[in-house]
Structure 1
Amino acid sequence: MSSPDLSRFGYEQELRRTMTLRDLVVYGMVFMVPIAPFSIFGSVFNGSSGMVPLTYIIGWVAMVFTAISYREMSRAFPIAGSVYAYAGRGLNPSAGFLAGWAILLDYLLVPTLLYVVGAQAMANVVPDVPQWAWIVLFVLLNTIINLRGVETTATANKVFLYAQLLVLVVFVVLAVIGISRGDGGSHWSGTPFFNSAEFSPSLVFGALSIAVLSFLGFDAISTMSEEVKGGSRVIGRATLITLSLVAVLFIVQTYLAALLVPGKTQFDTDDAANNAFYDISNLIGGRVFEIVIALAVAIGAAIANSLVAQAATSRLLFSMARDGQLPRFLRDVHPVRRVPQKAILLVAGISLVLGLFLVGQIALLSSLVNFGALFSFLVLHVSVVSHYLFRRRDRRFGLHLIVPVIGFVIIGYVLVNADIHAKVGGLVWLAVGVAVLVFFKVTGRSAKLTLEEGTPASEESPSS
């Protein structure tokens, strides 16, 4: 049966529409990991000279512009595929393919990175179990949950989110008590938000690079467009709500943590920075609470976050395969559970192979996963201007010109200043994508995407 939203783009409703606004917010929060600062607090602390909550405020403001662009394109094109679908119709199918190809680098490697992070964390808790065994267990568990259907995934997301929030609440309570009684010389202060002795424009821009990367993941909400109830506006609302809620959680926990290391603007060694949050947890709650934090990080990354990452990646593969941009078998949908089962299994297989091959290689994986998302965000902002101002002749310049231009500049700055390994690996991946695109054109397999009401998207730019 066709969906009114999908039929005008030439698609049938194949996936099951069961997700609500609440489900999407939970999904997005799990993807972004509410306790993400636990594992990177020390490095962000060093990069911001102790002003960690200020860093997350800057990051939230910076990413709002990209979130608004996602909202606008999700309203115009309420279909699965995220930036692949938006650029393919907002610009042209070639741009859509490259945007989808770019973000695939992020989406395919994120589950692998999370499994490796989780295995490393579990090795600190149960050292007798080899890390590869944890990776196999994590992959099997998440694949089973995702194959059971989007309802099972949504239920699991809620359980994982509530568990993370419970740990976070306990940390906040213990931190407030610890600061109030002066643990470690701590005291209430506004210095983590603004330290005049350390603040400078260069610090702001450096913090921007760190903070923007901390918020990556909210974009995955748009991959669930064909499984949400309530219309296309739900995706946009969920994106902005999730981004704002996670920002508040990041700011609160890092403010309290920064107060518990008074007088510091840097950690002396990499080891001290890597273990900063665990040491703070030990200070306020003892060794037992430190172990709880370590387990929360492991489960949050290797199970909860990987679960939604696998779901998002499979929907992107499904969308590109449906348009003939990837092998057709990836568009296969289970007749009962209505999930892209072969795409889910492919993601699981890639994650398992790479995870076993790259055990312990957290730095290498981290350097590669961000390029694809940042590049695709650039294409997204251009798509907003192209679709609304040139194709639809919309004259809301603030929403469809100023916002995407500011978002483009912010993301462009972060991408230019990205790690050299990320840029080299990302450019090689893009070069392969260009070669695949040329092959498609030569063999006559270029996608013909429908804008609406049967009108195909031109391979030419709408502004030409």
Structure 2
Amino acid sequence: MTNQAAIGYPYMANRLFRKKTVAHILSSAQSAKSGELEKVLGVRDLVSLGIAAIVGAGIFSTIGLASFNGGPAVSLLFVFVAVACVFTALSYAQFASTVPVSGSAYTYAYVAFGELFAWIIGWALILEYAVSNMVVAISWSQYFVSMLEGFGIHLPGWLTMAPAYASEAYVKLQEQGIESLTKVEQTAALAYEHAPRIGDIPLIFDLPAGLITFLVTWLVYIGIKESRTASNIMVAIKIGVILFVIFGGVFFVKPENWTPFAPNGVEGVLSGVAAVFFAFIGFDSISTTAEECRNPQRDLPRAMILCLLICAVLYILITLVLTGMVNYTELNVKDPLAFVFEYVGVDYMAGIVSVTSVVAITSALLVFQLAQPRIWMTMSRDGLLWKRFAKIHPTYKTPSFATIITGFMVAIPALFFKMDFFVDLTSVGTFFAFILVCAGVLYMDYSGISNQSRFRVPYINGRYLITLGLLIAIFGIYYYGTDIIEEWRQLTWLDILEHKLLIVIFWLVWGILCVMGYIYRFSLLPVAGILVNLYLMSQLGASNWFIFLVWLGIGLLVYFGYGYKHSKLNKDESAAK
């Protein structure tokens, strides 16, 4: 038994971490002829899809919550997160120009770190795209219901909300009385009270969220050309609305609303990191359309950087305008863009924002519904998922089965869960993917794979700069972070393990990167991407990690139950390295 274990464990480890060559990945994509994907996307289409994905529910809903927690200073958080995303986007761009296939970070991890890491990233991306779309669908429902009410059409409350929200409002009504409830909570409590019942169970669900998900899934199913056209139209409307709010709202800005700039301090600003990061999720999703691009090696890097820069500027401006028009304490609402105009008495502008927001938010839903099936398709090609996920529709040239499954996976939770349950769930897996992509660029530089890239992350020798940055951070905390130092002095080892373990890991990783960066002359920008994403990851709450670990556990069961045995590398060891 001991001898078998001695032989078996190294063999299993080799299989878990076997990597794919770039040449094999490209040849596999080209040989997948069972209904080839259509190559119709250019750089303008990709920028449009990127903006569609990024500027979705984030700017139309979660931006209000982030501003409520952090005050006007949340605009600086947008800058910080945007910088983190630029470092990461550069790394994505290099991988996309080297491995232009639809697997995105999943495929990139396969090249750099091996099969197990690729599976973990692919599984995490499924969570990212699905949860993002659940939030977008619920946000769309809220705007749609608000728009209908503006026209005098009132849907029954039990058809427009999550059962948990209605139940909580009803309990609050019973305990504290109707005077303690907001108008929205009163509606929810009445919905719970008057909903039809099956036995003792009230029949409450968010019908508009489910319907829009199925509608967009159908659009994605029937073809990439149709999806591209719809996306371009909706993005034009979306950008128009945002510019309308910025230039219309600037006349109502009161500078005194920006004081205090950070009313809840640094902690208040950072408490919105999950919501702000959610607002930037999406630039990576366009890499899943690589096999439908006319020139992916040229256009994908350009599109990623352009859409991210455009969206960052829009976010910063819109945050400053919103917090300038009304006090930040008023922004804990579901539709902040419409609310601020109602607040200043310009109801017709609020109406325009509400109507066009319904159309504009749909574009984000469209892009993520495009992305997820293509991740599944690529994993299925590699043998890690069942063959049906790789099936291409003979007429529509889309991954048909994977698209249908995606529709149900998003629609059913969107019918029954609250939005704030989902907002914090995307970030852990996404940060993990971003960190591995940045680290993968360092591996590509070391192994020489970067020489095959048409686009490369600009090289800045980090041999000394990584260490210099660490020293500056330490001295900055020592001289200016007295509150932080005092807090740490009061912590026991148990407190550190329970509440500060991730930030300890962050500093340890930075120290390790200093040593490795000195030895291998690491490029500074990918290292900066690793550190910024790791820091943001360390600020996430326990609920984020719990859900991610549960999801990861399910994924590992699927991998070892099916993917490990059916991996294509089992049949073609020459493709591995």
Counterpart residue identity of residue 267, structure 1? T
Q: Check 1:393–1:336 CA distance in 2 against 1; reply closer, same or farther (3 A cut).
A: closer
SS of the equivalent of 1:329 reads helix
Q: Are 1:373 and 2:447 matched, yes or no?
A: no
Q: Are 1:110 and 2:142 matched, yes or no?
A: no
**Residue matched to 2:107:** 85
CA contact (8 A) 1:105 1:369 kept: yes
**Residue matched to 2:155:** 128
**Residue matched to 2:538:** 416
User: Which structure would you say has the larger RCO, counting Cα contacts within 8 Å and 6 or more residues apart?
Assistant: 1
Q: Are 1:241 and 2:362 matched, yes or no?
A: no
Displacement after TM superposition at 1:112 (Å): 2.3
Structure 2 CA distance, aligned partners of 1:393 and 1:137?
45
Q: Are 1:36 and 2:101 matched, yes or no?
A: no
Q: Of 92, 98, 117, which residue of structure 1 is paired with 2:120?
A: 98
Q: Check 1:10–1:162 CA distance in 2 against 1; reply closer, same or farther (3 A cut).
A: closer
**Residue matched to 1:168:** 242
Q: Of 435, 439, 452, which residue of structure 1 is paired with 2:557?
A: 435
Structure 2 CA distance, aligned partners of 1:112 and 1:34?
12
Displacement after TM superposition at 1:50 (Å): 1.5
Q: Of 329, 333, 341, which residue of structure 1 is paired with 2:388?
A: 329
Q: Are 1:259 and 2:324 matched, yes or no?
A: yes
Deviates most, 119-128 or 410-419: 119-128
Displacement after TM superposition at 1:213 (Å): 3.2
CA contact (8 A) 2:143 2:358 kept: yes
Q: Check 1:423–1:288 CA distance in 2 against 1; reply closer, same or farther (3 A cut).
A: same
Q: Deviations over 1:39-94 (max 9, x none)?
A: 23332223333223322222211211110110111112111111001001122122
Displacement after TM superposition at 1:445 (Å): 1.9
SS of the equivalent of 2:353 reads helix
Structure 2 CA distance, aligned partners of 1:418 and 1:258?
24
Q: Deviations over 1:180-230 (max 9, x none)?
A: xxxxxx25x8x95x9778697667755655533321111101001000012
Q: Of 220, 226, 229, which residue of structure 2 is paired with 1:152?
A: 226
**Residue matched to 2:511:** none
CA contact (8 A) 1:91 1:387 kept: no
Displacement after TM superposition at 1:255 (Å): 1.9
Counterpart residue identity of residue 532, structure 2? I
SS of the equivalent of 2:566 reads coil
Structure 2 CA distance, aligned partners of 1:128 and 1:379?
46
CA contact (8 A) 2:47 2:307 kept: yes
Deviates most, 308-317 or 206-215: 206-215
SS of the equivalent of 2:396 reads coil
Structure 2 CA distance, aligned partners of 1:429 and 1:197?
35
**Residue matched to 2:175:** none
Q: Check 1:357–1:273 CA distance in 2 against 1; reply closer, same or farther (3 A cut).
A: closer
Q: Deviations over 1:140-182 (max 9, x none)?
A: 3212211221111010001111111222232223213334xxx
- Equivalent runs, 1:346-385 vs 2, <5 Å: 346-358=405-417, 361-385=418-442
**Residue matched to 1:224:** 289
Structure 1 CA distance, aligned partners of 2:24 and 2:296?
10
Q: Are 1:457 and 2:576 matched, yes or no?
A: yes
Structure 1 CA distance, aligned partners of 2:294 and 2:234?
22
Displacement after TM superposition at 1:38 (Å): 3.4
CA contact (8 A) 1:281 1:293 kept: no
Q: Are 1:341 and 2:400 matched, yes or no?
A: yes
Deviates most, 204-213 or 9-18: 204-213
Displacement after TM superposition at 1:231 (Å): 3.7
Larger Rg over CA atoms:
2
**Residue matched to 1:446:** 567
Q: Are 1:288 and 2:348 matched, yes or no?
A: yes
Q: Check 1:412–1:128 CA distance in 2 against 1; reply closer, same or farther (3 A cut).
A: same
Structure 2 CA distance, aligned partners of 1:398 and 1:285?
55
Displacement after TM superposition at 1:272 (Å): 4.4
CA contact (8 A) 1:385 1:401 kept: yes
Displacement after TM superposition at 1:251 (Å): 1.6
- What is the percentage of aligned positions where both structures have the same residue? 22
The count of aligned residue pairs is 436
Counterpart residue identity of residue 456, structure 1? A
Q: What do you get for the CA RMSD once the two structures are aligned?
A: 3.1
Deviates most, 98-107 or 432-441: 432-441
CA contact (8 A) 2:65 2:332 kept: no
Q: Check 1:102–1:171 CA distance in 2 against 1; reply closer, same or farther (3 A cut).
A: same
In structure 2, list runs of 5 or more residues that go unmatched: 1-22, 149-153, 161-205, 452-457, 463-521
User: What is the TM-score when the length of structure 2 is the normalising length?
Assistant: 0.69
SS of the equivalent of 1:429 reads helix
CA contact (8 A) 1:317 1:330 kept: yes
- Equivalent runs, 1:381-420 vs 2, <5 Å: 381-390=438-447, 392=449, 396=459, 398=461, 401-420=523-542
Q: Are 1:319 and 2:378 matched, yes or no?
A: yes
SS of the equivalent of 2:376 reads helix
Q: Check 1:195–1:161 CA distance in 2 against 1; reply closer, same or farther (3 A cut).
A: same
Q: Of 49, 62, 67, which residue of structure 2 is paired with 1:27?
A: 49
Structure richer in helix, relative to its length: 2
CA contact (8 A) 2:100 2:297 kept: yes
Counterpart residue identity of residue 373, structure 2? S
Displacement after TM superposition at 1:235 (Å): 0.8
Q: Are 1:7 and 2:9 matched, yes or no?
A: no
CA contact (8 A) 2:277 2:427 kept: no
Counterpart residue identity of residue 435, structure 1? L
In structure 1, list runs of 5 or more residues that go unmatched: 180-185, 459-464
Q: Check 1:168–1:433 CA distance in 2 against 1; reply closer, same or farther (3 A cut).
A: same
Structure 2 CA distance, aligned partners of 1:352 and 1:70?
29
Q: Check 1:374–1:79 CA distance in 2 against 1; reply closer, same or farther (3 A cut).
A: same
Displacement after TM superposition at 1:435 (Å): 2.5
SS of the equivalent of 2:385 reads coil
CA contact (8 A) 1:34 1:246 kept: no
